[in-house]
Structure 1
Amino acid sequence: MSKDLKDKDRHTQERRGPVEDDETEDYGSVYNKAEEHDDSTENIYSIGSLHSYNSSFTSLQISGSIPPTVADFRWSPDVLSAFDKLPALNSDDVKTLNSFLGLSLTSRPVDIKNFLVDFQRNPDHYTLLRKLTQQLKSMGRGDIVNAMHKEKAALRWLGPALPEEHLIRDIVPSLWVPLTVKLSLSHREGYDWKWLAEQLSISRDFIDLWEQQGGVPADNVMKTWQVKVSEATVGRLFDLLIEHREDLAAML
């Protein structure tokens, strides 16, 4: 076996993640691209075939009122336009959302834009958004979730575009590499790989060692954390990043 193949095999074993993606893309080729990152959520979450339906909508009925903790947001024209292009929620989808979220929708197919605009008028909108996105993903409607994530001001309420239970060790290389590269870059307020390592209770000795070694230290942080399968999930990582590193949370 050639030296290159041996090196690649060793890297695959260390990653313990999927290799069906672009495993051949190394850190050197993407390091300079990290600052140019825009939106990695596109095409990460795959969905099955969808069908179009005529839509009809009845106002939602949700009780209670919990105000948002940060600035309000409204769907922007561009995002509303994206909603308009999506297939409607079919009758089965409507029944599922009625049951799961305690909504009162017509039993007929529902137009996505009208649904989300009307949903936003309800007092529990902010507290239910993340629950809504989780349910949409489980229903195979990742197209709706990805469209919602185009509204950057809504990110903290939406949660990640990937399934929340998705294990860190199973993140594909095309996301793992730019995420760890960006996290390895020094942050002016200190919210970089060392901050994340501290949040994950990683020993200071490891942090000092990785700092001496250089390279992409966030890769070491993530690999060390990923062995804690019960907690090392996309949902948990999103919650850690969202308050101080929205740019990185948005990649999930």
Structure 2
Amino acid sequence: MEHRTQVSLGPVEDDETTDYRNTAEEHDDPTFPSIGPLISHESSFTSISLQISCSIPPSAAEFRWSADVLFAFDHLPALTIQEAETLNSFLGLPSTSNQPVSVKDFLAALETHPDKYTHLRKLAQQLKSLGRADIVIAMHKEKAALRWLGPVLPEEHLIRDIVPSLWTPLTVKLSLSHPTGYDWKWLAEQLSIPRHFIDLWEQQGGIPADKVLKAWQVRTSEATVGRLFDLLIERREDLAALL
């Protein structure tokens, strides 16, 4: 009998995040200044248009799963017949097996597909919906494929539900001054936060990225993990990898 661990996509406690980054509690900060009427619901906070980059940089044009990642795939529970059929159907690929398929074989076959880059993110999303986040986590070990995979967390999850054990390192690292300027102030500008708030938070010190993300999350329903990933992946892949 096949045994494998199903990964829940629902809320979990913070101490359950070792193997899967999920959601838990909101981050209430009584010292966080209200942005009130200074930023209206009709502002550009609610009209941010983020496009998933599908262009292929020359350095990744010949992307292949590394030996270490293939080894990790080989030690995961096989895809059931139903899972394999669902994934093939979802990706528009023919169903070729009437028995469980090894994760390694399935992903190695996808590696040679001409549309693999457009398939990867859709595949990761579908795997999460099937409860196979274990495969998504293993895929993320291949850093060269990160921009096409999307986040490990469910893309639709709101950033306010990010667990503290992830929220803290994310906001601290984003708050540090970046040599090329891609830090919290850059993100605030991408989110169209008014300049006077950026100046205020800079004077206050502390962890300004925390205030940037909170300002975004309280003003728009589009403040999701998937949206944040798409913003970060272009300039701060190190931070996108945390998601």
TM-score, normalised to structure 1's length?
0.75
Q: Shift in Å at residue 19 of structure 1? A: 10
Q: Distance in 2 between matches of 1:85 and 1:97?
A: 20
1:159 maps to which of 135, 150, 160: 150
AA aligned to 2:224 is T
Partner of 1:194: 185
Aligned counterparts, 1:134-173, within 5 A:
134-173=125-164
Percent of paired sites with the same residue: 72
Residue identity matched to 1:131: K
Distance 1:82 1:198 in 2: 39
Deviation at 1:99, TM superposition (A): 2.0
1:238 equivalenced with 2:229 (yes/no): yes
* Partner residue, 1:21: 14
Q: Which residue of 2 aligns with 1:74?
A: 64
8 Å contact 2:22–2:163 — kept in the other structure?
A: no
- Pick the aligned partner of 1:100 from 90, 108, 113: 90
From the superposition, tell whether residues 165 and 132 of structure 1 become closer, same or farther in structure 2 (CA, over 3 Å).
same
Match of 1:43 among 20, 31, 37: 20
Cα distance in 2 for partners of 1:162, 1:208 equals 32
- CA shift, 1:20, in A, is 4.5
**d(CA) in 2 for partners of 1:143 and 1:115?**
15
2:239 to 240, 245, 248: 248
Alignment correspondent of 2:199:
208
Moved more, 148-157 or 69-78: 69-78
Q: Secondary structure of 1:242's match?
A: helix
**Separation of aligned partners in 2, 1:114 and 1:182:** 37
Q: Which residue of structure 2 lines up, in the alignment, with residue 175 of structure 1?
A: 166
Query: Which runs of 5 or more structure 2 residues have no equivalent in the other structure?
Result: 1-10, 24-53
> Secondary structure, in 3 states, of the residue corresponding to 1:195?
helix
Cα RMSD, aligned residues only:
2.0
Report the CA distance shift for 1:67/1:117 in structure 2 as closer, same or farther (over 3 A).
Answer: farther
Residues 1:90 and 2:59 aligned together: no
Deviations 1:206-249 (A, max 9, x none): 00000000000000001100113421000000000001100000
CA distances 1:148-171 after superposition (whole Å, capped 9, x unpaired): 000111100101000000101100
Alignment partner of 1:128 is 2:105: no
Deviations 1:42-86 (A, max 9, x none): 43259xxxxxxxxxxxxxxxxxxx983442311111111000000
The 8 Å contact of residues 21 and 172 in structure 1, kept in 2 or not, is answered as yes
Q: Which runs of 5+ in 1 are unaligned?
A: 1-17, 23-39, 47-65
225-234 or 113-122, larger mean C-alpha shift:
225-234
The alpha-carbon deviation at position 41 of structure 1 amounts to 7.7
